[in-house]
């Protein structure tokens, strides 16, 4: 009998959903409104706690302006099992970049046109971090 628990692919798709949503500068609430779901449901998708149906995934690709293959990038098959490349939990940095502070920093950083200035900012941040 098949387990109802989300598999690694469910978690991977949720991780990719969160990455794309954050990259698009969209809150869970805003995405939920666009798809007709609560922010809690979006949160469950992103954590891999709930599976995303094929029709919902297709709808998300249109809203987030990505090809369906985006959600499967970085996922590989090995033997009879599917696994994530690193099979590690979602990186801690994702919690930061999806926070208000992280999104603000990311938006400001990506508006800097000069590669030299961006590099200097990275070096300064590393220096301050110790």
Range of the domain at 31: 8-87
Q: What is the pLDDT of residues 28-43, one digit of tens each?
A: 999 999 999 999 999 9
Structural domains in the chain (count): 2
pTM of the model: 0.62
Domain assignment present for residue 77? The answer is: yes
Considering the domain architecture, whether residues 69 and 130 belong to the same structural domain is answered as no
Q: Looking at residue 67, which CATH number applies to its domain? A: 1.10.260.40
Considering the domain architecture, whether residues 82 and 50 belong to the same structural domain is answered as yes
CB 17 within 8 A of CB 60: yes
Considering the domain architecture, whether residues 56 and 120 belong to the same structural domain is answered as no
Kindly report the backbone phi and psi dihedral angles of residue 114, in degrees, each rounded to the nearest multiple of 5, phi listed first.
Answer: -75, 120
Q: What is the pLDDT of residues 2-59, one digit of tens each?
A: 556 778 888 889 989 998 998 888 999 999 999 999 999 999 999 889 999 999 999 9
Considering the domain architecture, whether residues 57 and 105 belong to the same structural domain is answered as no
């Amino acid at each position: 009998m098949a387990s109802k628990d989300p598999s690694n692919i469910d978690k991977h798709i949720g991780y990719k959903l969160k990455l794309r949503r954050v990259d698009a500068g969209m809150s869970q609430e805003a995405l939920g409104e666009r798809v007709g779901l609560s922010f809690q449901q979006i949160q469950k998708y992103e954590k891999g706690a709930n599976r995303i149906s094929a029709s919902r995934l297709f709808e998300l690709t249109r809203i987030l302006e990505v090809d369906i293959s985006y959600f499967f990038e970085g996922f590989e098959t090995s033997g009879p099992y599917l696994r994530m490349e690193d099979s590690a939990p979602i990186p801690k940095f994702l919690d930061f970049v999806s926070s208000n502070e992280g999104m603000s920093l990311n938006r400001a950083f990506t508006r800097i046109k000069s590669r030299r200035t961006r590099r200097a900012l990275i070096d300064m941040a590393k220096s301050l971090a110790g």
